[in-house]
Structure 1
Amino acid sequence: MSQYSLSHDLNAINDAIEASIRVDKWLWAARFFKTRGLALDALKGGKVELNGHKPKPSKTLKVGDKLKVTQLHRKVEITVLSVSQQRGSAEQALLMYTLHSEVLSQRKPTADMALVGYREKGAGRPTKRDRRKIQKFSEF
């Protein structure tokens, strides 16, 4: 076997490896989730569909695959345009997929959403102003 054909075969294998990536890594790199752990939880929880099926996190993703991602605040349907193992800027992430539909959630935030930063005004601990009112009321 010649050295050219061996190096050509290795290049073809490397190209094939780079043309596919784990779903959880791609979701993180495309900035759908802040961490790979969150992407992993979404996959395990059935919040992601790959070509109509619920994939395992280790399932490989290729160019042309269709994804449906359900998050707290939105549901999106996308087609994969490129794969990358590196998380880049938001502008680079937009070039990795085509957005077919996006449905934003208009529902009222639930109590468990307070853990991720959503809080209705007046809910939870009293504000400094509220504490002053309570203190003034209790002095009498």
Structure 2
Amino acid sequence: MDAMRIDKWLWAARFFKTRSLAQEEVGLGRVLIAGQRAKPSRDVRVGDRLEIRRGDEVFVVYVEALSNQRGPAEAARKLYRETEESLQAREAAKERRQIAFEPASTIRHGRPTKREGRELRRLREGF
């Protein structure tokens, strides 16, 4: 096997929990192949450079091997090689998050629940 679908490879390499989630992320442009957006059906080959955005983390990896099966994490790590710059950037971001907490990360989106609405009214009225 010299090529396989990018969504299947991302699932096998354990970047995403399900293949459908991998398809969605590729479709949204959060996975770049050689710096360009791709469709989930795009083939990936050994030696390709991928940039994978997963939440706040950005992985820059080179494809080292292909696999049709999702195995243990130890086997998944053998499918790719992360660049040194990517490792350093992720470690620096991790240290920044530990030092300075980002208050906006706790903000939930959408309408308040019934319980939260009662609490807001209680606060406005002064108990």
**TM-score (normalizing by structure 1):** 0.64
Q: What residue in structure 2 maps to residue 54 of structure 1? A: 37
Aligned pair partner of 2:11 in 21, 28, 33: 28
Task: Classify the secondary structure of the residue corresponding to 1:87.
Answer: coil
Task: Classify the secondary structure of the residue corresponding to 1:85.
Answer: coil
User: Percent of counterpart pairs with the same letter?
Assistant: 37
Q: What residue in structure 1 maps to residue 2 of structure 2? A: 19
CA distance in structure 2 between the partners assigned to 1:89 and 1:65 by the alignment:
22
Aligned positions, number:
99
Deviation at 1:111, TM superposition (A): 1.9
Aligned pair partner of 1:66 in 31, 49, 55: 49
CA distance in structure 2 between the partners assigned to 1:55 and 1:27 by the alignment:
13
CA distance in structure 2 between the partners assigned to 1:49 and 1:27 by the alignment:
12
1:42 paired to 2:39: no
Aligned pair partner of 1:111 in 105, 108, 119: 108
Deviation at 1:73, TM superposition (A): 3.4
Deviation at 1:19, TM superposition (A): 1.4
The structure with more helix, counted as a fraction of residues: 2
CA distance in structure 2 between the partners assigned to 1:111 and 1:90 by the alignment:
32
| 1:4-62 Cα distance to aligned partner (Å, 9 max, x none) | xxxxxxxxxxxxxx111000000000000000011011011110000111011000000
CA distance in structure 1 between the partners assigned to 2:47 and 2:56 by the alignment:
25
Q: What residue in structure 2 maps to residue 86 of structure 1? A: 69
Largest Rg, 1 or 2: 1
Equivalent residue runs for 1:98-137 within 5 Å: 98-100=81-83, 101-102=86-87, 103=90, 104=93, 106=97, 107=102, 108-109=104-105, 110-111=107-108
Read off the aligned partner of 1:48 and give its amino acid letter: V
**Structure 2 runs not aligned, ≥5 long:** 117-126
